[in-house]
Amino acid sequence: MLNVLYALLVFCLANGYTLFSGKELGVALVVLIPLFLWINISPSWYRKVESIKRFQSSKMPTERLQLCFDGCVLLKVFLLSTAISVFYQLFTIADTFHTGIIRGVISLFLVIGIEALVFWNGIIRVYCTSLQIGVKWRAIGIACGMVPIVHLYVLWKIISIAAAETRLEREKIILDQKRKPERICATKYPILMVHGVFFRDFRYFNYWGRIPRELEANGAVIYYGNHQSAASVADSAAELKTRMEEICEETGCDKINIIAHSKGGLDCRYAISLLGAAPMVASLTTINTPHRGCDFADYLLDKIPVKTQQFVAGKYNAALRKMGDITPDFMKAVRDLTAEASMKRNEMVLDQEGVYYQSVGSKLNHASSGRFPLNFTHELVKVFDGPNDGLVAEDSFSWGSHYEFLTVNGKRGISHGDMIDLNRENIADFDVREYYVQLVTDLKNKGF
């Protein structure tokens, strides 16, 4: 309702030159111009009125969300007021010829100018504050800005994404504030988060996206593996064992909880079983780990010429050294992910008494819903391994006394990257941050 009132105000100001005359026009301008300027400066009045009606907090929890919300309000009003103005201009076009072309032209330019102010005020706010519209929709918005009809759809899509973001983020922040005293993720033992292959733990770009911050906001103590991004399972396991010893010494705890993604789960199992790390581990939760390997990897190593493999490995190793790896080995890492290597390793790497093992897996329902390169690899992996998350087959995830399989309805699904919040994307029907909160809460409730 308030959007409609605001749109009518903008419409009246934009079309005031033809709507009013004489003293009426002067009075209208005196009233409408200050309101127009105030609303454009601080559209949050809308939320304050709406919140009073709904008995909610009158402000967004953060300035970023407030600006994004206000931008969405302005863009909705722009669409509505522009539609009303267009119909009005068309309806009065006949009168324009009788009253004077110049008057009609002036009116049209006023409409364009005022609507442009509302639009640019809104779009700049949204472009500068929304995280979910990403590069993709920003680029589409710019590219389609002058394409009739299409630009309206794109603008509405941008509004929808940004508005959904403000709602979700507001709810999450309020939820965390309410349950903060409970410290539901304050486990008995600290948590070690272990990355997968070809990634590292960086200071300014977290492998786990927004997940660690959410866990820490609810009481968790988080550490990272800090091991090389590309190495054999045995070599990575040795690095991780050393890291576990460092954490236990630093915290004074005799055990840790491990959450490991992808190859990281294989590395941790190896360290626990064969390198004597079991006494330091209370629980191991593997996320989308290829416990039984990937037939697709076997196929590639069998079909791709050795020279090509060496060339690719050389380029990768050079790049990984620049990122911080000391002795990266691309080929050893890839070979350890094959189904053949996994089968042999599973005969040696046995579960250890006193360690709680559990696993999680997910499925990407349709290739087109995945981000590059998972939208490409999904179909290839599907040929050899069946349903998968873009890299790992569904039947390779399960390990331990508890297994949970995740997906969502429709084409989207949940990819290998989605499970670590790689793209920082809000997925309908699956909140990855809250999923990890509940996962860690369960570990706490189990006494870990």
**Shared-domain flag, residues 165 and 220:** no
Structure tokens at 167: 């709602």
162 & 210 share domain: no
Asked which of 94-108, 136-150, 160-174, 426-440 is least confident by mean pLDDT, the reply is: 94-108
Claim to verify: residue 348 and residue 329 sit in the same structural domain: yes
β-pairing, 256-261 vs 356-362, is unpaired
Does residue 140 sit in the same domain as residue 192? no
pLDDT tens by residue, 36-77: 777 777 776 655 554 444 434 446 788 899 899 989 988 998
Distance, CA of 85 to CA of 88 (rounded, Å): 5
Per residue in 379-397, pLDDT (tens digit) is 888 888 889 999 899 999 9
Mean pLDDT value across residues 2-10: 67
Collapse the DSSP code of 400 into the 3-class scheme (helix H, G, I; strand E, B; otherwise coil) and give the result. Answer: coil
Task: Indicate whether 101 pLDDT > 50.
Answer: yes
pLDDT band at 1 (very low <50, low <70, confident <90, very high): low
Q: Are residues 137 and 27 in the same domain?
A: yes
Tell me the pLDDT tens digit for each residue of 301-327.
888 888 888 898 899 899 888 888 889
170-203: burial string, b at 16+ Cβ within 10 Å, e else? bebeeebeebeeeebbebebbbbbbbbbbbbbee
Do residue 145 and residue 67 come from a single domain? yes
SS3 (DSSP) at 114: helix
Supply the pLDDT for residue 97: 53
How far apart CA 391 and CA 34 sit, in angstroms, is 58
pLDDT at 170 over 60: yes
61: cis peptide before it, omega within 30°? no
Shared domain check, 213 and 273: yes
DSSP-derived letter for residue 371 is P
Confidence of residue 14 (pLDDT cuts 50, 70, 90): low
**Which tops the pLDDT comparison, 42 or 112?**
112
* End residue of a domain, out of 177, 207, 230: 177
Q: Do residues 203 and 312 both lie within one domain?
A: yes
Same domain, 149 and 263: no
| pLDDT at residue 94, rounded to an integer | 57
| Those residues with Cβ within 8 angstroms of residue 143's Cβ, 6 or more apart along the chain or in another chain | none
Residues 283 and 331 in one domain: yes
DSSP 22-36: THHHHHHHHHHHHHH
Residue 208 is classified by DSSP as: T
Q: Are residues 241 and 365 both part of a single domain?
A: yes
Q: Which of the listed residues 125, 144, 177 is the one where a domain comes to its end?
A: 177
Structure tokens at 424: 């920082």
**Residue carrying structure tokens 């969300």:** 65
Q: Domain end: 146, 177, 208, which one?
A: 177
**Residue (of 218, 208, 214, 209) closest to 187 by Cα position:** 218
Residue partners of 383: CB distance under 8 A and separation at least 6: 296
In 263-304, which ranges are E strands? 281-287
| Domain total of the chain | 2
- Has residue 298 got a pLDDT over 90? no
Q: Identify the CATH number of the domain in which residue 411 sits.
A: 3.40.50.1820
Residues 298 and 391 in one domain: yes
Q: Residue 100's pLDDT band (boundaries 50, 70, 90)?
A: low
Do 104 and 96 touch, CB atoms closer than 8 A? yes
Could you tell me the residue range of the domain that residue 27 belongs to?
A: 2-177
On whether the pTM is more than 0.75, the answer is yes
Identify the residue with better confidence: 21 or 240: 240
